């Protein structure tokens, strides 16, 4: 019987238009070939466009508000299980090589294998740094190192991760396994050797109208985030620079390194299910913004995704989400989906791309990082996206609504346009339902009673329901507050025996 084997390939901070299969100006031949041999997804969304929270959803199948990692540098709950833990408990050999960012530590990690992953191959960023001298560590964090004559590919984190992944594949030909190879590249400091370090010198992206988005109809937070760039013309924000060249060069370098693994998979593991994605993107001056933060713009939230192992040479435009990766892989191994999983299996779609996994996908934001407030602090955001429309709610700010067919660059905020009232409010109801279904701890009347939504009643009661957690694979059934006995239903109208004053 054929062994089932799954390889998840990841890069960090790769926009969708940084792959040649989405934008022919980019040089990523290995991932492009993977897409040509599989399925390219046009509308895959990150669950939160920040490293740790994005990965938490991707590896648990639960949204950041459910698994507890709503920001960088915050660990998930003890009762949250990753895909590696679940698969290991079902007899699948699991190995994680590369950036992890799920242990609540600093950017580099703890240097030791997390539960469920083979310690013989574990190699987070702290493991890499501990191989270096102090001088090399400092050099490894400087973009300028890319131009030093001594700096070659074997110094980079990507290269060393790939070497381990190749060794894992060599040693596990006849085992059922799940391998994650998670590069930090092209995330800064963007280390890459020749010829990649100068590959994009003089390059700039094609102009589009959102470089000149004046943000006047957008949330105040975006205007503050933009800072002095709000006053700059788009031509000044979209221009060639050494920083952009190195970032894109490092992205092509990551493709080169991944190509070694893809080549081995093609030759020796042709039946493996292969998934490629990135945790989030980068604004790069679009909408006069840099980096990523509390927004759901395509540049940071609409990530690349490729899956090979089902239909070939297909493109899917219906919405998909990182939240669907865990249930997809569990379903691939015929493992019953736990009740706490909040996504859907894409297996039917992978083998028949006419089947849509979702009508709507969801993205959120809590805060960027708890270690410092240099990225705006608390910014509560919830978003719902369909193939054509996008609604973004900011609990303490102006909301957004976009018609992606007529405004693909998300410039014209239609939140107060009465012509879209019916569509907008239906999507709003769907988002509120999602917050209830996933027990979003931040749900409340404030999300429902928006300035543009006149039919919602102001009440402090949020639907009047008790919604308890069901994680019965790894913890006992929760108890009913009124009886102390195991709950009959997890979702039920709230009643209590509290003594009233």
> Which residues form the catalytic set?
51, 101
Helices (H), 38-131: 51-60, 64-67, 83-88, 125-129
* Nearest CA-CA partner of 61 in 473, 490, 487, 429: 473
For the beta carbon of residue 408, count every other beta carbon within 10 angstroms. 13
Q: Could you write out the three-class secondary structure of 372-388?
A: CCCCCCEEEEEEEECCC
End-to-end CA distance of the chain: 67
Q: Which residues pair with 5 in a beta bridge?
A: 177
Calculated CA dihedral for residues 216, 219, 225, 227, nearest 10 degrees: 20
CA distance 180 to 157: 15
C-alpha span between 283 and 409 (Å, rounded): 12
Give the CA count within 13 Å in the CB-facing half-sphere of 467: 16
179, β-bridge pairs: 7, 95
Whether 66 and 342 have beta carbons less than 8 Å apart is answered as yes
* Distance between CA atoms of residues 424 and 406, nearest Å: 15
Which residues on neighbouring strands pair with residue 392, listed in sequence order? 383, 400
Q: Exposed, middle or buried, 497 (CB in 10 Å: 0-12/13-18/19+)?
A: exposed
Rg (CA), the chain: 23
Dihedral Cα 245, 321, 395, 415, nearest 10 deg: 80
CA distances from 470 to 56, 69, 282, 338, 485 (A): 19, 19, 36, 9, 15
Each residue of 10-49: b (16+ CB within 10 Å) or e? bbbbbbbbbbbbbeeebbbebbbbbbebbbbbbbbbbbbb
Residue 373's closest CA among 23, 71, 33? 71
Helix (H, G, I), strand (E, B) or coil at 465: strand
SS3 321: strand
420 neighbors 414 (Cβ within 8 angstroms)? yes
Determine the Cα–Cα distance for residues 198 and 111; give it in Å rounded to an integer: 33
Show the tokens assigned to 112: 């030791």
């Amino acid at each position: 019987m054929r062994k089932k084997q799954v390889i998840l390939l990841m890069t960090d901070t790769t926009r969708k238009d940084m792959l040649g299969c989405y934008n022919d100006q980019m040089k990523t031949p290995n991932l492009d070939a993977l897409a040509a041999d599989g399925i390219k997804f046009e509308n895959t969304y990150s669950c939160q466009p920040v490293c740790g929270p994005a990965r938490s959803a991707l590896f648990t199948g639960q949204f950041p508000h459910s698994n507890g990692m709503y920001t960088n540098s915050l660990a998930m709950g003890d009762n949250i299980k990753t895909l590696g833990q679940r698969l290991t408990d079902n007899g699948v050999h699991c190995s994680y090589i590369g950036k992890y960012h799920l242990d609540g530590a600093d950017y580099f990690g703890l240097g030791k294998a997390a539960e469920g992953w083979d310690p013989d191959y574990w190699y987070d960023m702290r493991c890499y740094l501990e191989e270096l001298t102090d001088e090399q560590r400092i050099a490894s964090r400087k973009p300028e190192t890319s131009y030093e004559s001594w700096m070659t590919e074997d110094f980079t984190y990507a290269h060393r991760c790939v070497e381990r992944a190749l060794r894992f594949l060599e040693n596990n030909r006849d085992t059922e396994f799940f391998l994650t190879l998670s590069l930090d590249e092209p995330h800064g400091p963007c280390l890459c050797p020749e010829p990649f370090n100068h590959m994009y010198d003089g390059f700039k992206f094609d102009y589009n109208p959102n470089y000149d988005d004046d943000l006047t109809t957008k949330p105040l937070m975006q205007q503050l985030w933009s800072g002095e760039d709000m006053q700059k013309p788009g031509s000044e924000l979209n221009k060639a620079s050494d920083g952009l060249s190195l970032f894109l060069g490092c992205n092509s370098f990551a493709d080169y390194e991944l190509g070694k693994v893809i080549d081995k998979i093609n030759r020796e593991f042709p039946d493996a299910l292969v998934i490629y994605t990135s945790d989030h993107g980068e604004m790069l001056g679009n909408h006069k913004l840099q980096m990523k933060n509390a927004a759901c713009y395509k540049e940071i939230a609409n990530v690349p995704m490729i899956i090979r192992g089902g239909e070939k040479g297909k493109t899917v435009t219906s919405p998909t989400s990182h939240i669907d990766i865990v249930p997809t892989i569990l379903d691939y191994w015929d493992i019953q989906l736990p009740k706490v999983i909040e996504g859907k299996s894409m297996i039917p779609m992978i083998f028949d791309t006419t089947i849509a996994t979702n009508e709507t996908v969801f993205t959120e934001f809590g805060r960027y990082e708890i270690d410092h407030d240099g990225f705006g602090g608390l910014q509560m955001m919830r978003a719902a996206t369909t193939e054509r429309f996008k609604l973004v709610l900011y609990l303490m700010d102006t909301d957004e609504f976009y018609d992606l067919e007529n405004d693909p660059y998300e410039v014209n905020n239609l939140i107060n346009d009465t012509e879209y009232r019916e569509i907008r409010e239906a999507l709003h109801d769907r988002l509120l339902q999602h917050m209830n279904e996933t027990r979003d701890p931040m749900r409340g009347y404030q999300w429902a009673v928006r300035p543009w939504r006149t039919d919602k009643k102001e009440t402090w009661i949020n639907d009047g329901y008790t919604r308890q957690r069901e994680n019965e694979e790894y913890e006992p059934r929760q108890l009913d507050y009124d009886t102390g006995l195991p709950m009959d239903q997890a979702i039920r109208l709230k009643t209590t025996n509290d003594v009233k004053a």
